[in-house]
Amino acid sequence: MLTHHRRPVSLSLMSVDLPILSSVETSATLYKKDSNWFHVLLNEGSIPRSVTEFHSPVIDREEHQLLWLEISPYRVIMTMQGKGKFAYRHYWEQGIYGVSRYWLNGDDPKETDAFRLRNFTRSLQLKGLNLPEYLRVEYELWSNQVRLGHYVLHLEIFN
């Protein structure tokens, strides 16, 4: 049976070797799909994508995005999709090379382009008994033989 819960969350992405840090505190909807399989949905419309948006109170509803995480102790899939100009999907599984796909959408549906990168998941940690409370994914992003950085995704779910 599908059950859901509304919880406050803190989501952050940081680079270990580059000056990148992004963090947001918001509420999310958690869906328990199975004993060890969860979906976490966040409305991405409240997450600023650039420095100028920190000062802009207007959020364009036409660019509403949904951030969706599929979580299990063994793998994580994170997808951002919606009507915006940018979408992505990351697939992480500890100790293997996964795929990170990106879609760039123009104003015309014919102006869509996509590319993919590889990621290597160094570690995947999930804590929580009945519902996830803490998720940490440490990974490297690669383009062919060039390493594009070492990153840490951290999700904390509060009761």
Q: 109-144, pLDDT tens digit by residue?
A: 788 899 999 999 999 999 997 889 999 999 999 999
Which residue from 147, 134, 155 is spatially nearest to 18, judged by alpha carbons? 147
- Measured at the alpha carbon of residue 14, what is the angle toward residues 132 and 114, in degrees to the nearest 5? 90
The better pLDDT of the pair 54, 39 is held by 39
What CATH number is given for 3-49+61-157 in this structure? 2.40.128.20
pLDDT score at 62? 54
How high does pLDDT run on average in the chain?
87
Q: Domain map of the chain by residue range? A: 3-49+61-157
- Is residue 156 over pLDDT 50? yes
Question: Distance between alpha carbon 121 and the CA centroid of its chain, in Å?
Answer: 14
Measure the CA–CA gap between 138 and 92, rounded to whole angstroms. 9
Which residue from 9, 2, 39 is spatially nearest to 24, judged by alpha carbons? 9
Confidence class for position 51, pLDDT limits 50, 70, 90: very low
- pTM score, whole prediction: 0.84
